[in-house]
């Protein structure tokens, strides 16, 4: 954008000078020494043939015959023969009334200098229609290596945008093809074609249009620097692998393999190291899953690590069988764990039922406990095995049941003898011993009926 604006400003200044000179010619003042000067009759695009006024329908330049000599720009064309004896082309763009300078035009047969050639590249159609690219514009050619752009050539002139005529000259088209023709030196053609075959190009406005181009960037120093960077990453990755820091090692080695495709040997070596690192990392994740399963009993963590291996390392064939085995072991261990948790919860509920005297509930839970009698749980200190628990809780249930029956008989005997104070005291004692026994409500009602209200 800066280049285009600067060009318009310069052309505008030239046109202003023209208007000043024309004003002096038309003012009728004292005659001064004058010369013919070639001007643009209209805007002229780069590569357009110069056609003198009166020599064709496409005339675009004219001579002002009485141009003040003292206002003639350096290099201005003052001889008719300069444009009548041979075909000339614009080597830049002009605005209406801008003076045409000798340095800004070329003979048609020299429009492509003998030491140069134009080469075609394909570009995005949107770039063609954006107006940011135009014939005559100087651009830098960026070469994409992976996702990394590097400068291949600087200050390269766009020879044509989209179309050429039968003589290979630029022509303006309403809907140009998504093609750009670049003027490059013949000496650089092989290097340019090699880069063209190996990668894609991006064109950007020249970073320094004053550079005498086209200039092929010396890639040797740049390649050496990239090689050094790739080697540094490769060595870092290997060092991390030695420390068994496989996650960071894989990140570094993958960067070395993908970011530096132009450094083919090191890139390939980094790719092999990355593949080896992936296998080691997958095994390390399997080890984490095993520890979570066997040592920590963290089944969620074990499942997470196994899911990671299957999702991100499915191509690592060395761990497929191990993942399958660990997955099965995790499923089985989780089932056992859930059964153990159910068993422990059952013991807790049974103990609570006996403690609070809920004997019907205790009988139900004891029946459920019998279904665990063939299990061989190893639950640690303080948790009885199923068979021992069945025996102990069975005895305890019998003892509590017997105690409730005896206390009930004593209470009823007090009621029968009308020993209401003793009956009420026994009832309070039983409420503390059997607070959740469903028979306590009936006993409370009996005492209340016998003594009126006092229970």
Single out the residue in 217, 236, 267 at which a domain terminates. Answer: 217
- Which residues does residue 160 pair with via DSSP β-bridges, in sequence order? 181
8 domain residue, yes or no: no
Tokens of 183: 């003027």
Q: What is the mean pLDDT of residues 3-9?
A: 37
Q: Is the dihedral of CA 151, 10, 117, 172 positive or negative?
A: positive
pLDDT at 72 over 90: yes
2 domain residue, yes or no: no
17 domain residue, yes or no: no
pLDDT at res. 8 = 40
Q: How far is Cα 350 from Cα 361, in angstroms, rounded to an integer?
A: 8
pLDDT at res. 261 = 76
Angle (CA) 449-453-455 rounded to 5° is 85
**Torsion angle of alpha carbons 408, 414, 418, 423, nearest 10°?**
-70
356 domain residue, yes or no: yes
Q: SS3 of 133, please?
A: coil
Same domain, 213 and 147: yes
Tally Cβ neighbours within 10 Å of residue 157. 22
Q: How far is Cα 200 from Cα 96, in angstroms, rounded to an integer?
A: 38
Same domain, 27 and 101: yes
- What are 291-344's pLDDT values in tens digits? 999 999 899 999 999 999 999 998 899 899 999 999 999 999 999 889 989 999
- Domain of residue 236 covers 222-309
User: Higher model confidence: residue 13 or residue 427?
Assistant: 427
Same domain, 265 and 374: no
Q: SS3 of 158, please?
A: strand
User: Higher model confidence: residue 451 or residue 116?
Assistant: 116
Q: How far is Cα 328 from Cα 330, in angstroms, rounded to an integer?
A: 5
Same domain, 322 and 441: yes
7 domain residue, yes or no: no
Going by C-alpha positions, the residue among 87, 141, 91 that lies closest to residue 112 is: 91
Report residue 4's pLDDT band, with 50, 70 and 90 as the boundaries: very low
Same domain, 344 and 428: yes
Same domain, 285 and 353: no
- What are 18-58's pLDDT values in tens digits? 555 555 555 555 567 999 999 999 999 988 999 999 888 88
| Residues with Cβ within 8 Å of residue 439, at least 6 apart in sequence | 404, 408
pLDDT at 440 over 90: yes
Chain centroid offset of residue 123 CA: 24
pLDDT at res. 9 = 37
11 domain residue, yes or no: no
Report residue 1's pLDDT band, with 50, 70 and 90 as the boundaries: very low
Same domain, 339 and 301: no
Whether a cis peptide bond, with omega within 30° of 0, leads into 214 is yes
Angle (CA) 288-292-294 rounded to 5° is 115
336 domain residue, yes or no: yes
Same domain, 146 and 63: no
Strands (E), 69-127: 88-90, 105-107, 116-122
Going by C-alpha positions, the residue among 350, 360, 351 that lies closest to residue 437 is: 360
pLDDT at 6 over 70: no
- What are 276-298's pLDDT values in tens digits? 999 999 999 999 999 999 999 89
Alpha helices in 295-378 (DSSP H): 299-312, 320-355, 359-369
Q: How far is Cα 369 from Cα 344, in angstroms, rounded to an integer?
A: 10
Mean predicted lDDT score pLDDT of the chain: 86
| Residues with Cβ within 8 Å of residue 369, at least 6 apart in sequence | 346, 347, 350, 386, 389, 390, 393
Tally Cβ neighbours within 10 Å of residue 386. 20
Q: What is the mean pLDDT of residues 409-425?
A: 93
Tokens of 63: 């001579």
Same domain, 437 and 331: yes
- Which residues does residue 164 pair with via DSSP β-bridges, in sequence order? 170
- What are 91-103's pLDDT values in tens digits? 989 999 999 999 9
Single out the residue in 255, 281, 309 at which a domain terminates. Answer: 309
Q: How far is Cα 162 from Cα 171, in angstroms, rounded to an integer?
A: 9
Same domain, 93 and 142: no
pLDDT at res. 5 = 35
Q: What is the mean pLDDT of residues 412-437?
A: 94
Number of domains composing the chain: 4
CB-based contact 371:389 (threshold 8 Å): no
Single out the residue in 309, 340, 363 at which a domain terminates. Answer: 309
18 domain residue, yes or no: no
Same domain, 206 and 132: yes
pLDDT at res. 178 = 79
pLDDT at 417 over 50: yes
| Residues with Cβ within 8 Å of residue 173, at least 6 apart in sequence | 162, 163
Report residue 133's pLDDT band, with 50, 70 and 90 as the boundaries: confident
Report residue 212's pLDDT band, with 50, 70 and 90 as the boundaries: confident
pLDDT at res. 259 = 84
CATH code, 62: 3.90.1210.10
pLDDT at 13 over 70: no
Same domain, 335 and 443: yes
Q: Which long-range contacts (CB under 8 A, 24 or more apart) does 221-229 make?
A: 222/150, 223/262, 223/263, 226/260, 226/262, 226/263, 227/260, 227/263, 227/266, 229/260
pLDDT at 236 over 70: yes
- What are 138-176's pLDDT values in tens digits? 899 988 877 778 888 899 998 888 778 888 888 777 667
Question: What is the percent of the chain with per-residue pLDDT over 90, rounded to a whole number?
Answer: 56
């Amino acid at each position: 954008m800066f280049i285009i604006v600067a060009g318009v400003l310069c052309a505008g200044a030239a046109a202003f000078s023209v208007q000043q000179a024309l004003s002096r010619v038309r003012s009728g003042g004292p005659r001064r020494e004058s010369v013919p000067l070639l001007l643009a009759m209209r805007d002229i695009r780069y590569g357009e043939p110069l056609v003198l006024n009166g020599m064709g329908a496409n005339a675009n330049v004219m001579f002002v015959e009485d141009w003040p000599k003292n206002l003639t720009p350096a290099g201005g064309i003052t001889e008719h023969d300069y444009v009548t004896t041979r075909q000339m082309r614009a080597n830049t763009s002009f605005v209406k009334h801008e003076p045409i300078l000798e340095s800004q035009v070329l003979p048609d047969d020299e429009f492509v200098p003998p030491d140069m050639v134009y080469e075609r590249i394909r570009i995005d159609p949107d770039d063609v229609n954006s107006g940011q690219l135009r014939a005559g514009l100087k651009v830098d050619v960026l070469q994409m290596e992976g996702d990394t752009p590097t400068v291949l050539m600087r200050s390269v002139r766009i020879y044509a945008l989209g179309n050429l005529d039968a003589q290979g000259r630029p022509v303006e088209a309403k809907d140009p093809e998504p093609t750009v023709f670049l003027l490059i030196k013949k000496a650089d053609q092989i290097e340019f074609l090699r880069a063209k075959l190996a990668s894609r190009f991006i064109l950007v406005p020249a970073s320094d249009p004053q550079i005498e181009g086209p200039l092929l960037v010396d890639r040797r120093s740049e390649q050496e620097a990239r090689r050094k960077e790739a080697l540094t990453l490769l060595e870092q990755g290997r060092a991390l692998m030695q420390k068994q820091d496989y996650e960071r090692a894989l990140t570094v080695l993958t960067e070395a393999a993908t970011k530096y495709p132009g450094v083919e040997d090191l890139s390939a070596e980094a790719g092999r190291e990355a593949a080896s690192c992936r296998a080691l990392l997958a095994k390390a994740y399997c080890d984490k899953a095993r520890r979570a399963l066997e040592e920590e009993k963290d089944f969620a963590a074990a499942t997470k690590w196994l899911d990671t291996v299957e999702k991100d390392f499915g191509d690592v064939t060395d761990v497929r069988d191990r993942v399958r085995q660990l997955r099965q072991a995790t499923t089985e261990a989780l089932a056992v764990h859930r059964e153990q948790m159910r068993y422990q919860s059952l013991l807790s509920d049974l103990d609570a039922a006996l403690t609070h005297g809920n004997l019907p509930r205790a009988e139900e839970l004891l029946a459920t406990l019998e279904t665990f009698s063939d299990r061989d749980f190893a639950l640690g200190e303080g948790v009885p095995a199923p068979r021992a628990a069945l025996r102990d809780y069975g005895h305890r249930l019998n003892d509590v049941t017997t105690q409730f029956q005896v206390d009930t008989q004593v209470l009823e005997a007090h009621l029968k003898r009308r020993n209401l104070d003793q009956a009420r005291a026994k009832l309070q004692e039983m409420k503390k011993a059997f607070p959740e026994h469903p028979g306590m409500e009936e006993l409370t009602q009996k005492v209340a009926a016998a003594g009126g209200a006092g229970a």
